[in-house]
Structure 1
């Protein structure tokens, strides 16, 4: 088996492994090994093939990392409506209990169960309709709905 065949066989194996994992990093290394195979087809020696494969793989990995596909999404699951479907839902609070100077809690019936509710900072502790802004464990953090905020 010649050098270029080995390079392309390794590239094919890496592409198959990439399909199994779903990260694009193995694909970038496969591109590097394919470049090593092209260098072998061009008649370069083994050290040059390895240097080209490593350089292309490193550049492809760097380019992937700088793209939108390589950056992890740093959203907070507690306040992301795509993760938690309770975010943005409305509920009624009849009465607030003051904990300290600017901290209020309540117990409300939501989805057939009693939940602890905390008022988000800077919101008005008036009875009425509230929107869930965040879920912290079994506690709902709510903000005033437009109707409650205007009732002041």
Structure 2
């Protein structure tokens, strides 16, 4: 069996394993193995193939890691309207406590409203952004 075929089979195996586990880094390593296969097609020695696979695979992992670290985290499931129908609803707050909470009447019951980070506590209408336990996280509407 040709060397390039072995590289392609190993890359395919890593892609299949990545599909089962969902580990993004296995996909980047498979890119490195594909680089080894391309190096074999170019006629490089086995050492050259290994170096190409290692360098490209490691670079892909590092670049992928840095890109993922730059992105903000995914929003909390509790803040998705498809999960919680209270998200996006409005309510009125008459006054805020000194700790940044307010007692509000919402859906016929008393709730504790909590301000989102960076919001100013003033009376008015607010929009529900997330439900955390029995507290409503709100922002100015």
TM-score > 0.5 by shorter chain = yes
Tell me if 1:38 matches 2:42: no
**How far did residue 59 of structure 1 move?**
2.2
Indicate the residue corresponding to 1:105 in structure 2: 102
Q: 1:82-97 counterparts in 2 under 5 A?
A: 84-92=84-92
Q: 1:2-151 counterparts in 2 under 5 A?
A: 2-67=2-67, 70-71=68-69, 72-77=71-76, 80-81=79-80, 84-92=84-92, 99=97, 101=98, 103-110=100-107, 114-118=109-113, 120=115, 122-125=120-123, 129-143=125-139, 145=141
Aligned length: 136
Q: Is contact 1:7-1:36 (8 Å) kept?
A: yes
- Flag structure 2 segments of 5+ consecutive residues without an equivalent: none
Q: Classify the secondary structure of the residue corresponding to 1:117.
A: strand
RMSD of aligned residue pairs (Cα, Å)? 3.4
**How far did residue 86 of structure 1 move?**
2.5
Give the TM-score normalised by structure 2: 0.68
Q: Is contact 1:115-1:138 (8 Å) kept?
A: no
Q: Classify the secondary structure of the residue corresponding to 2:29.
A: helix
Q: Is contact 2:89-2:128 (8 Å) kept?
A: yes
Distance change in 2, residues 1:125/1:59 (3 Å): same
Q: Classify the secondary structure of the residue corresponding to 1:14.
A: helix
State the distance in 1 between where 2:113 and 2:84 align.
Answer: 17
- Flag structure 1 segments of 5+ consecutive residues without an equivalent: 146-152
